[in-house]
Structure 1
Amino acid sequence: MTEASARFDRICATLRDRICLLDAPPGTRLSEEVLAAEFGTSRTPIRRVLARLEAEGLVAVRSGVGSIITDLDRAEFAQVYALRQELTQLVATLDPVTPTPAHVARAAEFETQGDALAAAPDARAFAVLNRDFHDFGLSLTGNAALREVAERLYLRTARIWLQAVARMDLGQECAIFADEIRQTHAALRAGDARAAALIRRSHISMSAARLAQVPAPAAG
């Protein structure tokens, strides 16, 4: 990887985190000039980064305004979550990877983190752990196209939970997530990547159902 490619990936990852963790909320304008100064680069690579984020659905370019962080409406949210469920199941059938000792060891680390989260619930820590666990789940398929599509859909929905959590039972959500991780670890110890994928699919489905019951915030 070239230095320019590494810098591009680093800036993309930083801005994705800001958007998905709501450090930069929907409606925020992303200034090419400000970002170029922050990352010590010209505006050209910043434009490439913003184009990538636009392709991922995180940013919209508005004429005369610039790049604005998007939001996800409830109708689109339901459709994206339904598709995520189906793609998660495909992890087990399209070029599945046989779980290795490294996979099992990583799952054990996640289980420890999940138990700690359940003991001390924190919305931001949940979001970060969920993102890392999602990436880990995609490592169980060798299908690069599937990983790319699943990642983009995940990014489209990542903010919904953080937006809704103030009106949910955070302790319960963290306990449910810890249980999902525990079940996944057990499936991988048994060498069953298909079971791990089906566990993830089930939890995505139940998570979507719980989120659908949370009323949308009142318009300001």
Structure 2
Amino acid sequence: MTVEGGITGECEDKKRIGAGEIHELLRDRICLLEYAPGAMLREIDIATEFGVSRTPVREALQRLSIEGLIEARTGIGTFVTTLDPTQLREVFDVRIELAQLFGRLTARAATPADVALLESLLTRANSLEEKFDLSEHWQINHALHFAISDLLLNKTFLETWHNLYFRAARVWYDMSRGIWPDAVRLLQLEITDLLTALRENDIEAIGYIKRNYIKFCWKRISSRQHL
């Protein structure tokens, strides 16, 4: 492919990006703290970056607002939200309770591909012992969240489950910098436990494992923030 052809292809790719993809990219940046709490998001800047009109950007921002990740302040602009201690506790309380519903909702059977995916994530998690890499830590947790969520067939439940995960994620990943060895150890143990349940095709056990590890994360967050 010529250089000219490559550039044209890149521009066309950018023009084809939709509101859903923009929403996911912005959401991930918020969770990775690339957009810090309180940061202003400008429609024109985002539209320019992705080579689109403001319409899909507005749609993406509206979804983020519904999810509680950003807020529009009349006459001022759109900002990344923060979670005060009460809100943070409420988010984790609900996540802990929701996790226990896994075994009570319709789910598909686990497959060898599901097991292989978690095995690959465990290998990646083990490599984190060698060096601090917040982005890789996020990517592994992100993939793990969706790998487990993919087992469930209840879309209404999943909407809430995903939303609360992303609202809490940025707090946990930010804290991981200060408790790196412990954060990695928790991730390794969680994937190991989930693998055992997955191999046994025990969806109810998966729910209780998620509940336990959400509680472990909350315990560390609350102790360090004196909540």
Instruction: Note the C-alpha offset of 1:122.
Output: 2.6
- How many pairs does the alignment contain? 213
Q: Which runs of 4+ in 1 moved over 3 A?
A: 118-121
- The residue type paired with residue 137 of structure 1 is I
Q: What secondary structure sits across from 1:186 in the alignment?
A: helix
> Please, which of 177, 193, 199 is the counterpart of residue 189 of structure 1?
199
Instruction: Note the C-alpha offset of 1:163.
Output: 2.8
Q: What secondary structure sits across from 1:67 in the alignment?
A: strand
Name the residue aligned to 1:124: 135
CA contact (8 A) 2:17 2:50 kept: no
Task: Give the 5 Å matches for 1:1-220.
Answer: 7-166=18-177, 168-215=178-225
Q: What secondary structure sits across from 1:98 in the alignment?
A: coil
Instruction: Note the C-alpha offset of 1:128.
Output: 2.1
Alpha-carbon deviations, 1:68-124, whole Å to 9, x = none? 111111111111111011111212211022211221111211221221223434333
| Alpha carbons of structure 1 residues 118 and 182: separation in structure 2 relative to 1, 3 Å | farther
Alpha-carbon deviations, 1:148-176, whole Å to 9, x = none? 1100111111111133234x321111011
Q: Which moved more, 1:138-147 or 1:91-100?
A: 91-100
Rg larger in 1 or in 2? Answer: 2
| Alpha carbons of structure 1 residues 78 and 93: separation in structure 2 relative to 1, 3 Å | same
Q: What secondary structure sits across from 1:99 in the alignment?
A: coil
Unpaired segments ≥5 residues, structure 1: none
TM-score normalised per structure 1: 0.90
CA contact (8 A) 1:92 1:140 kept: no
Instruction: Note the C-alpha offset of 1:6.
Output: 5.8
Q: What secondary structure sits across from 2:72 in the alignment?
A: strand
CA contact (8 A) 1:117 1:178 kept: no
Instruction: Note the C-alpha offset of 1:132.
Output: 1.5
- The residue type paired with residue 197 of structure 1 is G
Alpha-carbon deviations, 1:38-90, whole Å to 9, x = none? 11111122111111110011110001111111111111111111101111121
TM-score normalised per structure 2: 0.88
CA contact (8 A) 1:91 1:138 kept: no
- The residue type paired with residue 210 of structure 1 is R
Instruction: Note the C-alpha offset of 1:5.
Output: 9.2
CA distance in 2, matches of 1:93, 1:5: 40
Unpaired segments ≥5 residues, structure 2: 1-14
CA distance in 2, matches of 1:191, 1:17: 30
| Alpha carbons of structure 1 residues 80 and 139: separation in structure 2 relative to 1, 3 Å | same
- The residue type paired with residue 198 of structure 1 is Y
Instruction: Note the C-alpha offset of 1:215.
Output: 2.7
Q: What secondary structure sits across from 1:27 in the alignment?
A: coil
